[in-house]
Amino acid sequence: MISADTLHQAKAIDHDTLREFVDRKWNDEIVPALTDYIAVPAKSPAFDPEWVKHGFIERVVTDAAQWAEQQPVKGLKLEVIRLAGRTPVIFFEAPATRSGSTETILLYGHLDKQPEFDGWRNDLGPWTPKLENDKLYGRGGADDGYAIYASLTALAALDAQGVERPRCVGLIETCEESGSYDLLPYVDALRERLGKVGLVVCLDSGAGNYDQLWLTTSLRGVVAGELEVHVLDEGIHSGGYGGIAPSSFRIMRQLFDRLEDASNGNLLPKGFHCPIPPDRLLEAEATAKILGDDVWKKIPWACGQDGRQVLPTTTDPKEALLNSTWRPSLSVTGAAGLPSIADAGNVLRPRTSFKLSLRLPPLVDAVKAVNELKALLEFDPPYNAKVTFKPEAAAATGWSAPDLAPWLASALNDASRQHYGADCAYMGQGGTIPLMNTLKEGFPHSQFMVCGVLGPKSNAHGPNEFLHVPYGKKLTAAVADVIAAAP
């Protein structure tokens, strides 16, 4: 295996100087910038249809672009690109400082956010940033506002030392939390300017712990939509007609029985499953040895029956990892047609609607899954009720990383040892980053460094989300090392 130290560097990195540069940037500029960013409710367009009118996305894009333009990156050019009717993207380009370099490194992130959610600590909130014990709390800082700041800081740190690097471009979108449906037209429009992409650096993923660098090797796909059961034209007395008119909720339960085994959550349709590659099984086994029971113990479990903790579907760390990365799972993320408990009378409700989120294994085609899911739910409905499933437009197929090139495997491990004092670790993630599969198809020979700061209890999308600042600093320095080692 080729050592990163032998590759292409006319000048070796002074790692103490690198860490000092990164630490200073984070303390003096990035944390203050992210504090301002968190305070802006720049929700993704799926959660804020009037995003243009509200101007929050425009503000965070403008703030990030203005900061980026001031960074000491050699030859940096940046522009905010706006296609009609679509959320904007930031595109930047930093020409190669290494002679003879022919490939491009693409740095990716996003600035749009998930909605508020409830359950925040009394002294915290989604739009009220707070730095406490090296954790920056608030919506979006870790997912994924920090990415553009960390990416450009990594480049500036190399340029400050005169360490040569390849050409780098950045693509920062504002539609990721809505499924990135606005991004593909930008990728098409910018394809020639992107160049020959040899490495994709994505900082929108997670970490198994805060003790080492974690490389994401796979991402699940997702299908979402609204399932509605419509029985009556108006609500009727449950005492007078209960037992005659079927409950819309009971019909919903029957439909769910078509999808999953209620005793364990296993998805029943074979089309929602795929074989797990042998190398991913080995990765899960190795990760399970590193994390142990923390795989499931880190979840904020409620106090269950008789004061005992609610139990996970499995306490086997390896199986838990595979359940959340290479097996399908179904969640209900919203509901309609259900009055609040305080307002609920003795009434048979006319309809029940659930928002479904179906996570798919990385190798399952999302379009086929949408069609299968819709057919399964709508076919031969119980009691001839009106059953409709309206899928969201942004179904996304998952992603499995290509085999690591020797130079990248070496560079990742060297960077992890240098900045974390431990070997690089590998794991799949249960979330979805739609761009990754698009880039894999568009640049089939490229390598991928998919990492992130979303470690234990960081709680992306939920309450009390935080960015682990020390981990963010180390990840920034590690990205700089990998970029310097790239061919």
Using H for helix, E for strand and C for coil, what is the string for 380-404?
CCHHHCEEEEEECCCCECCEECCCC
Helix (H) or strand (E) holding 336: strand 329-336
Domain definitions of the chain by residue range = 4-219+398-485, 221-276+301-391
Task: Compute the distance between CA of residue 444 and CA of residue 80 in angstroms, rounded to an integer.
Answer: 27
Q: In this structure, what token pair is assigned to residue 304?
A: 């269950």
User: Does the pTM of the predicted model rise above 0.75?
Assistant: yes
Looking only at the bridges linking them, the beta strands covering 221-230 and 386-391 are: antiparallel
Q: Which residue, 467, 462, 466, is CA-closest to 115?
A: 462
Q: Using alpha carbons only, what angle is made at residue 471 by residues 208 and 171, rounded to the nearest 5 degrees?
A: 90
Q: What is the CA radius of gyration of the chain?
A: 24
Contact between residue 148 and residue 64 where contact means Cβ atoms under 8 Å apart: yes
Q: Strand 214-219 and strand 399-400: pairing?
A: antiparallel
Each residue's pLDDT, cut to its tens digit, for the chain (487 residues) gives 444 444 444 579 999 999 999 999 999 999 999 999 999 999 999 999 999 999 999 999 999 999 999 999 999 999 999 999 999 999 999 999 999 999 999 999 999 999 999 999 999 999 999 999 999 999 999 999 999 999 999 999 999 999 999 999 999 999 999 989 899 899 999 999 999 999 999 999 999 999 999 999 999 999 999 999 999 999 999 999 999 999 999 999 999 999 999 999 999 999 999 999 999 999 999 999 999 999 999 999 999 888 899 999 999 999 999 999 999 999 999 999 999 999 999 999 999 999 999 999 999 999 999 999 999 999 999 999 999 999 998 789 999 999 999 999 999 999 999 999 999 999 999 999 988 888 888 888 999 999 999 999 999 999 999 999 999 999 999 999 999 999 9
Q: What is the CATH number of domain 221-276+301-391?
A: 3.30.70.360
Q: Any idea of the CA torsion for 250, 256, 261, 262, to the nearest 10 degrees?
A: -40
Per CATH, 4-219+398-485 and 221-276+301-391 having the same topology is answered no
Closest CA to 438 of 126, 188, 95: 188
Q: Which residue has the tokens 């981990």?
A: 471
Query: What is the CATH code of the structural domain delimited by 4-219+398-485?
Result: 3.40.630.10
362 neighbors 218 (Cβ within 8 angstroms): yes
Q: Say which residues have a Cβ less than 8 Å from residue 368's Cβ, sequence separation at least 6.
A: 271
Separation CA 39–CA 41 (nearest Å): 6
Distance, C-alpha 363 to centroid of its chain: 17
Rounded to the nearest 5 percent, the helix, strand and coil shares of the chain are 40, 20, 40
Q: Provide the CB-side half-sphere exposure for 103 (13 A, CA).
A: 15
Alpha carbons 100 and 164: distance in angstroms, whole number = 11
**Tokens describing residue 235:** 């609500």
Q: Quick one: pLDDT at residue 6?
A: 44
d(CA 201, CA 210): 19
Is the Cα dihedral 222, 272, 426, 406 positive or negative?
A: negative
CA–CA separation, 451 and 147 (whole Å): 10
pLDDT value at residue 68: 98
Task: Determine the Cα–Cα distance for residues 286 and 304; give it in Å rounded to an integer.
Answer: 31
